[in-house]
Amino acid sequence: MARVVRFHRHGGPEVLRIDEVQVAPPGRGEVRIRVRALGLNRAEALLRAGNYIETATLPAGLGLEAAGLVEAIGDGVSGFALGDAVSIVPPISMVRWPAYGELVTYPAEAVVKIPPGLGFEAAAATWMQYLTAYGALVDIARLGRGEFVVITAASSSVGLAAIQIANRIGALPIAVTRTSAKSQALREAGAFHVIASAEGDLQAGLEQIAGLNGVRVVLDAVGGPGFVPLTSAMAPGGILIEYGGLSPEPTPFPLASVLSKSLTLRGYLVHEIVRDPARLAAAKTFILDGLATGALRPVIARTFRFDEIVEAHRFLESNAQFGKIVVTV
């Protein structure tokens, strides 16, 4: 038996409960992991609330990131040994492979050995944020040295990962945050410029930084009315990559800017990288190299215990965090 976090009805953080369940041995091609830490993501709050791209069959588990020790290995698996310290790449289906538990089983191709010097908490805070940011900025946008890149929701784990990746390749990250409360922390995290969108004119601020040429690459997690000033400040031929939808307000289609500048507005999910072995291999190499050199450093906002999962989800939805929320098991 093992403790797992599940929800038996959709709702707020209070619907989460810890159940004891029987965990089957790993099947062919699978690895079972004794979990030591979990990384929290907004997608998990959406699944819990019934608003995610997947539909859960209740009672349902949840979770996309974990790190721990290999406890059992299924037939046909090579390259791992009992006791190996590993983390998991976010699976295509959170419903099929939930991470919130003392014991979890994953396909071997989703399991990665933790590099030396990286603890369980940092390892559990690695893959979702860096894969998401890498896929958008490097794989899709081909962001280059000396280019400006606008990063909204910049204090989120993905936003901070994007700032670090931009710096690693020599680009100039412009962090967009709602208020100036986190401005200094964002500068210390590597932001070249910081704009508080609720305290000034976002378009004017971007144009003052980037000049008349505009910004070619925008990584946006918000949507909503911000689409208008963002696209107005973009360069001809620019690309806006949308990976979220945090704004509760409608998102207008900026027709004039899209037509006059031949802009690309592109939806993006990290699944694009995860389901493509070649792209995933390139991403792993980039991220592991960055971790080894210190260019990539997971920022952990706060750590909770496993039995504080409800409080952890409340903090997740508070938007007060700067970086990743981690739960220890």
pLDDT in tens, 303-325: 999 999 999 999 999 988 999 99
The DSSP 8-state label assigned to residue 128 in this structure reads: H
Boundary of a domain, candidates 231, 252, 271: 271
Residues 141 and 264 reside in one and the same domain: yes
- Asked whether residue 18 falls in the same domain as residue 113, the answer is yes
Smallest CA-to-CA distance from 243 within 327, 134, 144, 145 is with 134
pLDDT digits (tens, 9 = 90+) for 147-190: 999 999 999 999 999 999 999 999 999 999 999 999 999 999 99
Q: Last residue of a domain, which of 271, 289, 318?
A: 271
What pLDDT score does 35 carry? Answer: 98
Q: What is the mean pLDDT of residues 258-273?
A: 96
**Residue 257, pLDDT above cutoff 80:** yes
The pTM of the full predicted model, rounded to 2 decimals, is 0.94
Residue 168 sits in the same domain as residue 195? yes
For 130-140, what is each residue's pLDDT tens digit? 999 999 999 99
Domain CATH code at residue 321: 3.90.180.10
Do 263 and 167 share a domain, yes or no? yes
Q: Examine the domain organization and report whether 244 and 173 are in the same domain.
A: yes
Tokens of 292: 């080894």
Contact 86, 80 (CB under 8 A): yes
With b meaning 16 or more CB within 10 Å and e meaning fewer, what string describes 45-61? Answer: bbbbeeebeeebeeebb
Instruction: Say what the pLDDT of residue 113 is.
Output: 97
Residues in CB range of 260: below 8 A, 6 or more apart: none
135 and 98 fall within a common domain: no
Average pLDDT of the segment spanning 94-110: 96
Please report how many Cα atoms fall inside a 13 Å half-sphere around the Cα of residue 323, on the Cβ side. Answer: 19
Average pLDDT rounded to a whole number, residues 30-49: 96
Question: What confidence score (pLDDT) does residue 211 get?
Answer: 86
Q: Give the total residue count for the chain.
A: 329
The phi and psi torsions of 294 (rounded to 5 degrees) equal: 90, 0
**Is 157 inside any structural domain?**
yes
Cβ–Cβ < 8 Å for 217, 266: no
The residue type at 126: T
For residue 230, what pLDDT is reported?
97
Is residue 287 assigned to a domain? no
- Please report whether residue 201 resides in a domain: yes
Whether the per-residue pLDDT at 100 is higher than 90: the answer is yes
Instruction: Answer whether residue 286 is part of any domain.
Output: no
Same domain, 89 and 107: yes
50 and 151 co-located in one domain? no
Asked if 199 and 89 sit in the same domain, the reply is: no
Does residue 236 lie in a domain region? yes
In a domain, 278, yes or no: no
pLDDT score for 1: 87
User: Do 229 and 249 fall into the same domain?
Assistant: yes
Question: CB–CB of 125/157 below 8 Å?
Answer: yes
Query: Residue range 241-252: average pLDDT?
Result: 93
Mean residue pLDDT across the chain: 96
Q: What is the domain range of residue 199? A: 129-271
Q: Percent of the chain beyond pLDDT 90?
A: 95
81 and 140 share one domain: no
- Outline where DSSP puts E strands in the chain: 2-7, 16-21, 30-39, 60-61, 65-73, 85-88, 103-107, 111-113, 148-151, 172-177, 193-196, 215-220, 234-242, 264-267, 300-305, 324-328
Distances (CA, A) of 143 to 32, 94, 157, 179, 244: 37, 30, 19, 27, 20
Confidence (pLDDT) at 259: 97
In this structure, are 221 and 320 located in the same domain?
no
| pLDDT over 90 (residue 275) | yes
Residue 199 lies in a domain: yes
pLDDT at 23 over 90: no
Using a 10 angstrom Cβ sphere, with 0-12 exposed, 13-18 middle and 19 or more buried, the burial of residue 272 is middle
For 182-236, write each residue's pLDDT tens digit. 999 999 999 999 999 999 999 999 999 998 789 999 999 999 999 999 999 999 9
At residue 212, the pLDDT reads 76
Q: In this structure, what token pair is assigned to residue 9?
A: 């009805």
Residue 283 lies in a domain: no
Provide the domain count of the chain. 2
